[in-house]
Protein backbone atom coordinates (compact mmCIF):
# COMPACT_ATOMS: atom_id res chain seq x y z
CA UNK A 1 0.00 0.00 0.00
CA UNK A 2 2.70 2.43 0.97
CA UNK A 3 4.78 1.70 -2.15
CA UNK A 4 1.78 2.54 -4.31
CA UNK A 5 1.46 5.94 -2.62
CA UNK A 6 5.14 6.67 -3.21
CA UNK A 7 4.74 5.69 -6.88
CA UNK A 8 1.67 7.93 -7.21
CA UNK A 9 3.46 10.81 -5.50
CA UNK A 10 6.37 10.40 -7.93
CA UNK A 11 3.97 10.63 -10.88
CA UNK A 12 2.16 13.70 -9.52
CA UNK A 13 4.38 16.31 -11.28
CA UNK A 14 3.81 14.58 -14.63
CA UNK A 15 0.06 14.42 -14.07
CA UNK A 16 0.02 18.07 -13.03
CA UNK A 17 1.96 19.09 -16.15
CA UNK A 18 -0.47 17.14 -18.35
CA UNK A 19 -3.44 18.79 -16.65
CA UNK A 20 -1.91 22.25 -17.16
CA UNK A 21 -1.27 21.49 -20.86
CA UNK A 22 -4.87 20.30 -21.22
CA UNK A 23 -6.26 23.45 -19.56
CA UNK A 24 -3.99 25.71 -21.66
CA UNK A 25 -5.30 23.98 -24.76
CA UNK A 26 -8.88 24.48 -23.56
CA UNK A 27 -8.24 28.17 -22.87
CA UNK A 28 -6.83 28.56 -26.38
CA UNK A 29 -9.93 26.90 -27.85
CA UNK A 30 -12.24 29.10 -25.81
CA UNK A 31 -10.29 32.19 -26.86
CA UNK A 32 -10.69 31.12 -30.46
CA UNK A 33 -14.40 30.61 -29.97
CA UNK A 34 -15.19 33.78 -28.04
CA UNK A 35 -12.61 36.23 -29.39
CA UNK A 36 -11.42 35.26 -32.87
CA UNK A 37 -14.76 34.09 -34.33
CA UNK A 38 -16.62 37.34 -33.41
CA UNK A 39 -13.79 39.42 -34.91
CA UNK A 40 -13.96 37.40 -38.13
CA UNK A 41 -17.74 37.79 -38.18
CA UNK A 42 -17.44 41.54 -37.68
CA UNK A 43 -14.79 41.83 -40.40
CA UNK A 44 -16.97 39.86 -42.84
CA UNK A 45 -19.98 42.06 -42.11
CA UNK A 46 -17.89 45.20 -42.56
CA UNK A 47 -16.45 43.91 -45.86
CA UNK A 48 -19.93 43.06 -47.07
CA UNK A 49 -21.22 46.49 -46.03
CA UNK A 50 -18.31 48.18 -47.84
CA UNK A 51 -18.86 46.11 -50.99
CA UNK A 52 -22.62 46.68 -51.05
CA UNK A 53 -24.58 48.71 -48.54
CA UNK A 54 -25.03 48.41 -44.79
CA UNK A 55 -28.74 47.77 -45.34
CA UNK A 56 -27.95 44.72 -47.46
CA UNK A 57 -25.64 43.37 -44.74
CA UNK A 58 -28.32 43.87 -42.13
CA UNK A 59 -30.96 42.29 -44.37
CA UNK A 60 -28.69 39.30 -45.00
CA UNK A 61 -28.24 38.71 -41.27
CA UNK A 62 -31.99 39.01 -40.63
CA UNK A 63 -32.98 36.82 -43.60
CA UNK A 64 -30.50 34.07 -42.73
CA UNK A 65 -31.69 34.19 -39.12
CA UNK A 66 -35.36 33.84 -40.08
CA UNK A 67 -34.69 31.15 -42.70
CA UNK A 68 -32.44 29.33 -40.25
CA UNK A 69 -35.06 29.45 -37.51
CA UNK A 70 -37.59 27.91 -39.90
CA UNK A 71 -35.08 25.20 -40.87
CA UNK A 72 -34.29 24.47 -37.20
CA UNK A 73 -37.99 24.06 -36.46
CA UNK A 74 -38.58 21.86 -39.52
CA UNK A 75 -35.49 19.67 -39.03
CA UNK A 76 -36.05 19.48 -35.27
CA UNK A 77 -39.55 18.04 -35.73
CA UNK A 78 -38.20 15.64 -38.34
CA UNK A 79 -35.47 14.40 -35.99
CA UNK A 80 -37.96 14.09 -33.12
CA UNK A 81 -40.22 11.95 -35.32
CA UNK A 82 -37.25 9.69 -36.21
CA UNK A 83 -36.36 9.31 -32.52
CA UNK A 84 -39.94 8.32 -31.67
CA UNK A 85 -40.07 5.82 -34.55
CA UNK A 86 -36.77 4.21 -33.48
CA UNK A 87 -37.90 3.96 -29.85
CA UNK A 88 -41.27 2.53 -30.88
CA UNK A 89 -39.43 -0.13 -32.88
CA UNK A 90 -37.35 -1.01 -29.78
CA UNK A 91 -34.08 0.35 -31.20
CA UNK A 92 -31.70 2.88 -29.71
CA UNK A 93 -31.99 6.01 -31.91
CA UNK A 94 -28.24 6.66 -32.08
CA UNK A 95 -28.21 8.33 -35.49
CA UNK A 96 -31.28 10.43 -34.75
CA UNK A 97 -29.80 11.58 -31.42
CA UNK A 98 -26.61 12.71 -33.15
CA UNK A 99 -28.76 14.52 -35.72
CA UNK A 100 -30.68 16.17 -32.89
CA UNK A 101 -27.45 17.36 -31.28
CA UNK A 102 -26.25 18.82 -34.58
CA UNK A 103 -29.59 20.60 -35.12
CA UNK A 104 -29.24 22.04 -31.60
CA UNK A 105 -25.73 23.28 -32.42
CA UNK A 106 -27.08 24.81 -35.63
CA UNK A 107 -29.80 26.61 -33.71
CA UNK A 108 -27.22 27.97 -31.28
CA UNK A 109 -25.03 29.19 -34.15
CA UNK A 110 -28.01 30.96 -35.69
CA UNK A 111 -28.39 33.00 -32.50
CA UNK A 112 -24.96 34.50 -33.20
CA UNK A 113 -25.30 37.35 -35.67
CA UNK A 114 -22.92 36.99 -38.56
CA UNK A 115 -22.35 35.48 -41.95
CA UNK A 116 -19.89 32.69 -41.16
CA UNK A 117 -21.81 31.17 -38.25
CA UNK A 118 -25.06 31.36 -40.24
CA UNK A 119 -23.47 29.51 -43.16
CA UNK A 120 -22.15 26.79 -40.84
CA UNK A 121 -25.55 26.54 -39.14
CA UNK A 122 -27.47 26.25 -42.40
CA UNK A 123 -24.96 23.63 -43.51
CA UNK A 124 -25.76 21.63 -40.38
CA UNK A 125 -29.48 21.95 -41.06
CA UNK A 126 -29.30 20.47 -44.57
CA UNK A 127 -29.53 16.67 -44.20
CA UNK A 128 -26.82 15.88 -46.79
CA UNK A 129 -24.19 18.13 -45.21
CA UNK A 130 -25.32 17.17 -41.71
CA UNK A 131 -24.53 13.54 -42.62
CA UNK A 132 -20.96 14.55 -43.45
CA UNK A 133 -20.66 16.42 -40.14
CA UNK A 134 -22.14 13.41 -38.33
CA UNK A 135 -19.51 11.10 -39.84
CA UNK A 136 -16.69 13.41 -38.73
CA UNK A 137 -18.18 13.74 -35.24
CA UNK A 138 -18.56 9.97 -34.90
CA UNK A 139 -14.98 9.44 -36.13
CA UNK A 140 -13.79 11.93 -33.50
CA UNK A 141 -15.68 10.04 -30.77
CA UNK A 142 -14.22 6.75 -31.98
CA UNK A 143 -10.71 8.18 -31.83
CA UNK A 144 -11.07 9.83 -28.42
CA UNK A 145 -13.37 7.70 -26.25
CA UNK A 146 -13.65 4.13 -25.06
CA UNK A 147 -16.34 2.48 -23.00
CA UNK A 148 -15.33 0.46 -19.95
CA UNK A 149 -18.14 -1.84 -18.83
CA UNK A 150 -17.44 -4.10 -15.84
CA UNK A 151 -13.73 -4.30 -16.63
CA UNK A 152 -14.20 -4.98 -20.35
CA UNK A 153 -13.21 -2.25 -22.78
CA UNK A 154 -15.09 -1.49 -25.97
CA UNK A 155 -14.72 1.35 -28.41
CA UNK A 156 -17.47 3.79 -29.33
CA UNK A 157 -19.39 2.12 -32.15
CA UNK A 158 -21.72 3.71 -34.64
CA UNK A 159 -21.98 3.30 -38.40
CA UNK A 160 -23.75 6.21 -40.12
CA UNK A 161 -26.31 4.97 -42.60
CA UNK A 162 -26.60 1.55 -40.94
CA UNK A 163 -29.05 2.50 -38.21
CA UNK A 164 -30.37 -1.02 -37.55
CA UNK A 165 -27.02 -2.76 -37.13
CA UNK A 166 -25.26 -0.02 -35.18
CA UNK A 167 -28.07 1.14 -32.93
CA UNK A 168 -28.84 -2.01 -31.06
CA UNK A 169 -29.49 -1.70 -27.36
CA UNK A 170 -28.25 -4.04 -24.60
CA UNK A 171 -31.75 -5.34 -24.05
CA UNK A 172 -31.77 -6.72 -27.61
CA UNK A 173 -29.20 -9.32 -26.55
CA UNK A 174 -30.48 -10.62 -23.23
CA UNK A 175 -33.05 -8.18 -21.79
CA UNK A 176 -30.58 -6.73 -19.22
CA UNK A 177 -29.53 -3.15 -18.68
CA UNK A 178 -25.79 -2.60 -18.54
CA UNK A 179 -24.41 0.44 -16.73
CA UNK A 180 -21.05 1.73 -17.90
CA UNK A 181 -18.56 4.51 -17.52
CA UNK A 182 -16.95 6.39 -20.41
CA UNK A 183 -13.42 7.69 -20.08
CA UNK A 184 -11.47 9.84 -22.48
CA UNK A 185 -8.28 8.27 -23.80
CA UNK A 186 -5.49 10.66 -24.68
CA UNK A 187 -2.30 9.73 -26.45
CA UNK A 188 0.95 11.11 -25.06
CA UNK A 189 3.20 12.76 -27.64
45-60 pLDDT, tens per residue?
889 889 988 898 888 8
Closest CA to 102 of 67, 78, 84, 86: 78
Residues 6+ positions from 176 with CB-CB distance below 8 Å: 170
- The overall average pLDDT reported for the chain is 74
Residues 6+ positions from 141 with CB-CB distance below 8 Å: 156, 158
Beta partners for 183?
Answer: 146
User: Looking at the whole model, is its pTM more than 0.85?
Assistant: no
- DSSP collapsed to 3 states, 96-136: HHHHHHHHHHHHHHHHCCCHHHHHHHHHHHCHHHHHHHHHH
- pLDDT band for position 162 (cuts 50, 70, 90): very low
CB-CB contact of 92 with 168 (8 Å): yes
CA–CA dist 95, 131 (Å, integer): 10
Please give the sequence-ordered ranges of beta strands (E in DSSP) within 135-180, or none if there are none.
Answer: 145-149, 152-155
The 10s digit of each residue's pLDDT in 163-179 is 444 344 443 444 444 55
CB-CB contact of 131 with 142 (8 Å): no
- pLDDT band for position 23 (cuts 50, 70, 90): low
Amino acid sequence: MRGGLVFQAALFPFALAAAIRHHASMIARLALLFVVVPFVELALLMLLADATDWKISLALVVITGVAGAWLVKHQGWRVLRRIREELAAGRLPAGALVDGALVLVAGTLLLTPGVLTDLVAIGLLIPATRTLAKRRLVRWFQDNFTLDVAGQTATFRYAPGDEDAAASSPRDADQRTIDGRATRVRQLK
